[in-house]
Amino acid sequence: MSSNLPSPATTAAALRTAVEQAMPRLAAISDVASARRPAAGKWSAREIIGHLIDSAQNNHGRFVRAQLAADLVFPGYEQEDWVRLQGYAECDWVELVGLWASYNRHLARVIARIPPEVAQRPRRKHNLHELAWQPVPADAPATLDYFMADYVGHLKHHLKQIWAVTAGA
């Protein structure tokens, strides 16, 4: 599984690049456009960025803990509730974007420091079939490398959603 995966340094670089490329586009989104919901029950750009902040926070802990554990078993979180309870829909857009960017720059530093042998070690026990954006079957081994690259894929997926919900705004 790990032979086709990027190293921690490569994943960290991809994360930094995604953040730096997104920043001018995010900065160009107006406060009004960031609050607009594309449809009833769908997240606004503010709420998507809030979700990405929550994802960074949760995965930060997971990536650190995984270096100290024999498995890749982590608690999940109620994503919809976290977004609602933190009131991201009412937050200032510029502040949210700044927090998102800062947190992900820090997370890129954390990822870059992970020794490749730790990141590439197959773990038979995991719950990435429940937590990963692109799940790993429960009966297949998983690596921290995979989970970190999956995090970056998840982030890029949600950035595309932001571009879609703010297009033309």
106: in domain: yes
Domain that holds residue 78: 2-31+41-165
Band of the pLDDT at 4, cuts 50, 70, 90?
confident
Indicate the angle between helix axes 8-27 and 93-112, nearest 10 degrees.
170
Q: How many domains does the chain have?
A: 1
Cβ count near 89 (within 10 Å): 15
Residue 118 counted as domain residue? yes
In a domain, 36, yes or no: no
Does a structural domain hold residue 85? yes
What CATH number is attached to the domain comprising 81? 1.20.120.450
Q: pLDDT tens digits for 74-114?
A: 999 999 999 999 999 999 999 999 999 999 999 999 999 99
- Per-residue pLDDT of 48-82, as tens digits, reads 999 999 999 999 999 999 999 999 999 999 999 99
Question: Is residue 91 one of the residues assigned to a domain?
Answer: yes
- Interior CA angle at 156 toward 101 and 128, to 5°? 105
